[in-house]
Structures are given as C-alpha cells and as structure tokens.
C-alpha cells in the first residue's frame, strides 16, 4: 500500500486506543511517530518511537518536528484528583497545541470524552453544540481541553478536531455501554476521518458506534466523513441488565455521575495535602 498520509504523531501510543490507531495507520502514514512515557518497540520501518513526558514542552516541540498531523490520545483516562487531571490532561494538551502551533502542524486530533455531557438525562439526544454538563473532574478536564483547542483554532488558525470518545471496548459488557459503546473499528474510522477531513477550522464530534440506544447526535462525525457501522444492540442478549428500563431522568454518565465517584478523589487530595503531620 502506498502511504496516503504524511508524518503522523500519536501521543499516548502505548494506550488501548493508541495501540489500535498505531496498527491501523502503520501502512497509511509515510512516517508514524509514537510518543509515550512507557517503553515501546519499533515494529516497522515507518515507525519512530520517542519516550517523553508531555510536561516537557520543549521536548514535545522537538518531537513534532516535521509532523503533518498529531493525534493526541495521552492523559489520565478517568476520574482522579483535580490537580492530577490539570497537570496531565490540561497542561499536557496545552503543550501539544503549542508545539503544534510552533511546528505549523496541519491538523491536531484530540481525544475528548463523552463525559463532558454526562449529566444530561438519558432521554436526551445531545448535540456537540449543547452546553457542557460534565459528570466529574475528568469531564471538567476534557471541557478545558476543548476550550484550549477552540482558542488555538480561533486565535492561531490551528486546525483541530475534538472527538468525544464513547466507551471504547472490544464489545459492550454492561448495560450503559449499549448506549455509549465505541467499537475498535468505528474508533479507527472516526480518527481516520478526523485526520483527513478537508477545510476544518474547529470541530467537536461524538465518536460513538451506531447504537440503537445512543445518547449523542452523530451528524458532526458524519460531516467529517465517517458513518459508524457497529451497533451495541447486537450484543444486548448477553449483557446483564439490558432488559431493565432505565429511569429517563437518570444521568447519561451512570455511576460516573455519583457524588461518591468524585468525593473519594477529593478526600485523596486532602490527605495528600495534609499528610501525617498536618497541612503542608
């Protein structure tokens, strides 16, 4: 196959989504630059591995030299103390955007999350233009990431696509995933479309499979050039609780929207600050 993409940089390349994106783009990119804090081995002549922490802005700028596209997947992937999420997710994304600006990267694709709108009720179909309603600190960090991306698009003419990733699993294995599932095939499809869509200034789209029970509008992703093909309903018979009627007023975030899910991280942060000898 003749590579149709130029030099593509993938941050968080050792992660679950990074691993499938790496495999999918390996033969499509002229060069594939893989960035992660963890060790990675080179698997093809097209690949280059760079081990770094996104906290180091100058190292990120250097790693982006010659990049045509950056797919930013790195970060803390779930609820955590807010300070940790600000460091890893928000500051890390700022460094990615700023490095892309300095290196004149053509397109940045950012992994946002469905959890920026997790407090909408399950009987509502949410459009990317609707006001955000995050279901926790993790969702707040992704709201901030989207705001940074919009700033860089508006102020510096950086082309950015934010994909609000659904529940990425090989197959749905819990009731909520019947609405929120994102299959590996559809995940790659959305990311490929986000890389290749022409004339994009700034776009936010939900990346979710074509689930019968989904909460989110697919039009923005379709306009990018990808229509999802998988449907979690095909697995419903094997999912516990699939037949239970969900309270239409309950939040789309499910358990993520429970107070205790965030409170434990507030308490963890407080314990870290006070320590055994009192406040620091």
CB 6 within 8 A of CB 29: yes
Q: Give the CA dihedral 266, 270, 273, 276, nearest 10 degrees.
A: -140
Q: Which two tokens stand for residue 47?
A: 């690949």
Helix (H, G, I), strand (E, B) or coil at 190: helix
Report the run of H or E that residue 111 belongs to, with start and end. Answer: strand 107-113
Say how many CA atoms lie within 13 Å of 57 toward its Cβ.
12
C-alpha pair distances (Å), 177 with each of 33, 228, 234: 32, 15, 12
User: Rounded to an integer, what distance in angstroms lies between the CA atom of residue 178 and that of residue 197?
Assistant: 28
Q: Which two tokens stand for residue 35?
A: 């960035």
Catalytic residue status for 138: yes
User: Rounded to an integer, what distance in angstroms lies between the CA atom of residue 85 and that of residue 254?
Assistant: 21
Annotated catalytic residue: which of 138, 152, 177, 226? 138
Name the residues annotated as catalytic. 138
């Amino acid at each position: 196959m003749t590579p149709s993409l130029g030099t593509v940089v993938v941050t968080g390349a050792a992660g679950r989504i990074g691993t499938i994106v790496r495999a999918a783009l390996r033969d499509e990119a002229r060069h594939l630059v893989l960035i992660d804090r963890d060790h990675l081995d080179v698997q093809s002549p097209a690949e280059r591995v760079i081990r770094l922490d996104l906290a180091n802005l100058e190292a990120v700028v250097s790693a982006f030299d010659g990049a045509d596209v950056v797919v930013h997947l790195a970060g803390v992937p779930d609820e955590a103390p807010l300070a940790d999420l600000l460091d890893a997710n928000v500051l890390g994304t700022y460094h990615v955007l700023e490095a892309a600006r300095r290196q004149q990267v053509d397109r940045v694709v950012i992994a946002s999350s469905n959890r920026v709108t997790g407090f909408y009720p399950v009987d509502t179909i949410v459009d990317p233009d609707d006001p955000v309603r995050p279901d926790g600190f993790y969702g707040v960090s992704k709201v901030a990431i989207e705001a940074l991306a919009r700033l860089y698009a508006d102020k510096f003419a950086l082309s950015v696509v934010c994909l609000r990733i659904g529940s990425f699993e090989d197959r749905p294995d819990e009731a909520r995933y019947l609405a929120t599932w994102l299959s590996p095939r559809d995940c790659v499809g959305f990311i490929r479309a986000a890389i290749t869509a022409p004339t994009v200034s700034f776009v936010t789209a939900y990346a979710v499979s074509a689930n019968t029970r989904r909460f989110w509008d697919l039009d923005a992703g379709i306009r990018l050039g990808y229509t999802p093909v998988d449907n979690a309903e095909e697995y419903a018979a094997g999912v516990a609780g699939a037949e239970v009627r969900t309270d239409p007023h309950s939040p789309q975030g499910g358990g993520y929207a429970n107070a205790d899910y965030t409170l434990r991280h507030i308490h963890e942060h407080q314990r870290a600050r006070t320590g055994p000898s009192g406040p620091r």
